Structure 1
Amino acid sequence: MSRIGKKEIIIPNNTDININHNQILVKGPKGSLSYEFSYLVKVEKINNKIQISKLQQTKKSREIYGLSRSIINNMIIGVSQGFEKKLIIQGVGYRSQLEGKNLILNVGYSHPIQIEPPENIEIKVENSTLIRISGINKETVGQIASKIRSTRPPEPYKGKGIRYDNEYVRRKVGKAGK
């Protein structure tokens, strides 16, 4: 049974929410997002709170119950505060730079890697080894961060590569010399 779905979502003062049939539209100072939720759940706006309830007692409705609540909560946080991920580049000669809106990575390959962000995502590069990805949609921020990290994930022997800010890479011991 989902305990997440039972929690009410408190709406901040600077956000507007419109619910039409099976669609919710959230507008805030950073932008607007919409989500089409399932017919198995009911979303109600009561004063400055959102309450989600199941319409059926099936396994599928229980699954969607908590998911819908999490997605709507992330939308409200995104349009009011936004989301941010930080990536750190480690390695000799590894660096990044911005060319327009595109991110150019030089991470040990014979060619630079170019990553083009979606329209609502903003990428900032600080001192060529710190990349900040920010936006209003938590899912796309995480996907772009994952895409950048997957170009050169950290390796366990020297720790070279691209890692998340709070990621710990377990180091292995190399070969023992004779």
Structure 2
Amino acid sequence: MRHYEIVILVHPDQSEQVPAMVERYRTVIESTGGMIHRLEDWGRRQLAYPINKVHKAHYVLMNIECSDDVLKQLHSAFRFNDAVIRDLILKRDKADTSQSPLFKIKEQEEGDSSHSKNRDDNDPSGAGEIGNPDPDTIDDGVMTDTQDDAQETGDESGDNETE
């Protein structure tokens, strides 16, 4: 049996069906003695370019070990499933069981968003939100160089109109 890495892109309207699809592919692989070494659901992500006028897709990554016949069966299942808008099958030398860098980033983003949400909930003054700055950090009447430059360019255009 050989090792393969499979990435499938599912139409975003069919995201609810992804767990059922993955389970169906899992039974096909495991019923013939194959193994799934890594299974990652990356969720909905922006596509680099539109595919059939779709700008987002639900990504799923699988590292599997299976025979050539099972791989052909999976590939035909991907082709004839309207929900799968793209699939990529790569032959690998060995099983890869570590988390992918993209999955690690996704987990960090989920952890950061829940952490920042908790931090905002604990701040009753609302000083941490955009639009409600902390009054202790505001400089009264102090302008930076970029603000001075912006005002000078605005004043020059105003002077030309009055002459």
TM range (shorter): under 0.3
| Structure with higher helix content | 2
When the two structures are superposed, what TM-score results if normalisation uses the length of structure 2? 0.27
Q: Which has the higher contact order (CA 8 A, sep 6+)?
A: 2
| Structure with higher strand content | 1
When the two structures are superposed, what TM-score results if normalisation uses the length of structure 1? 0.25
